Amino acid sequence: MREDTRRLRRMIRTGRARIRYATVSCRAGRWTITVTVEAADLHPARQHPPRPDTDSSGWVGVDRGLTALIVAADTTGRQVERVGDAPRPLRTALPRLRRLSRHVSRKQRGSRNRAEAVARLGRAHLRVANVRRHFLHEVANRLVKTHDRLVLEDLYTAGMLRNRRLAAAISDAGWADLARIIGYQQRWRGGQAISAPRWYPSTRMCSACRTVGPALPLSVRIFACDECGHTADRDVNAAINLAVWAEHHHAQTRDPEVRGPVTNASREDGPGQRPRAGETSPDDGGTPPPRTSVTAGTPEKGGVS
């Protein structure tokens, strides 16, 4: 166990959490126990206050930026969040993993040296997975804590933009995972997370006059409108447009059926697993435990730490 289990133990003692399963596994020479916990609902004081159906405001658009991992902005044009770069271990992960796997192939088959090189490579992979998961949860947490309504760029559209500054480890599967984490965290907090449709031209549209211009080459960092002359950071402009889309289409997005891929969390994180055991106290909050993993090295699909 790596993380402090005090909170979990307190919740179990007071009957606000119940251990359902424990899985023991060994990965890259490290033993871990993953505990699946049924926990109480988040305390209302830590949830976003409910909004009436007629209220269409408060949306924050989250764009997978070209020069940043994410850029978030609201309908007034204010940038509310910008996560510039992945942590250093992630950025340097790929060259390091390539080097380590070269080491493996250079060693003689069946040799002790090779076994050691294989173990080193395995540990490096595990470390990258842990750093990555931790980072994505941190980013998601930051967004869902302060904003109850998030609209994300479509996964497919986001995938079209390759951000070369970020390690592939984070930029490829990163956005989909981030969207999934945001989705269930937001449900847990009583907020909303939706994704804009694929066809919505968030990058090409002017956030000032709503004119849709030609596609922007990847080299263009500043959006400039031919119609009204408005200029803005490319990513901020797109994030504003996402927020505006959500505000306009708010009525349709109330139906969970049309919420899009953001809410399609994996089964472990899905609403069916939502804890129903009373309520947490305000100091239980902070991390979302539909499943609480208290270990290092849980499989990517399995635990949520």
Instruction: Catalogue the active-site residues.
Output: 63, 153, 235
Closer by beta carbon to Zn ion, 14 or else 211: 211
The two structure tokens encoding residue 89: 């271990």
For the chain, the residue count is: 305
Quote the least distance from Cβ 123 to Zn ion, whole Å: 52
Q: Which of 161, 208, 216, 224 binds Zn ion (CB under 5 A)?
A: 208
* Contacts with 191 (C-beta within 8 Å, 6 or more apart), sequence order: 48, 144, 147, 148, 149, 150
Nearest approach, Cβ of 200 to Zn ion (angstroms)?
17
| By CB under 5 A, residue 225 contacts Zn ion | yes
Q: How far is the CB of 230 from Zn ion (least distance, A)?
A: 4
206 near Zn ion, judged by CB under 5 A: yes
| Per CB under 5 A, 224 contacts Zn ion | no
- Would you say 204 or 259 has its CB closer to Zn ion? 204
Q: Does 209 bind Zn ion (CB under 5 A)?
A: yes
Helices 112-146, 174-188: axis angle to 10 degrees equals 50
Among the listed residues 55, 116, 138, 227, the single contact to Zn ion using CB under 5 A: 227
How many residues bind Zn ion (CB under 5 A)? The answer is: 8
- 132 Cα distance to chain centroid: 10
Residue 5 burial class via C-beta count within 10 angstroms: exposed 0-12, middle 13-18, buried 19 and up = middle
**Nearest distance from C-beta of residue 132 to Zn ion, angstroms:** 38
The answer to whether 63 and 179 are in contact (CB under 8 A) is no
Residue 167 vs 239, nearer CB to Zn ion: 239
Does position 230 bind Zn ion by CB under 5 A? yes
Q: Which stretch in 39-47, 151-159, 198-206, 289-297 sits in contact with Zn ion by CB under 5 A?
A: 198-206
CB of 210 to Zn ion, least distance (A): 7
Alpha helices in 168-215 (DSSP H): 168-171, 174-188
Nearer to Zn ion, 160 or 228 (CB): 228
User: Residue 146: what are its φ and ψ, rounded to 5°?
Assistant: -100, -20
47-259-85 Cα angle (round to 5): 70
- In the complex with Zn ion, the residue whose CB is nearer, 75 or 292, is 75
Interacting residues of 26 by C-beta distance below 8 A, sequence separation 6+: 32
In this chain, which stretch among 50-58, 143-151, 218-226, 245-253 interacts with Zn ion, using CB under 5 A?
218-226
Give the whole-angstrom CA distance, residue 43 versus residue 247: 28
Q: From CA 300, how far away is CA 125, in angstroms rounded?
A: 12
Among 90, 179, 182, smallest CA distance to 128 is for: 90
Paired residues of 222 in beta bridges: 233
Work out whether 116 is an interface residue with Zn ion (CB under 5 A): no
Considering only CA atoms, which of 57, 75, 86 is closest in space to residue 239? 75
- 241: its two tokens: 């447009």
Judged by CB under 5 A, does residue 222 bind Zn ion? no
Point out which span in 29-37, 147-155, 187-195, 230-238 binds Zn ion (CB under 5 A). 230-238
Q: Which residue number, 34 or 207, has a Cβ lying nearer to Zn ion?
A: 207
Binding residues for Zn ion (CB under 5 A): 206, 208-209, 211, 225, 227-228, 230
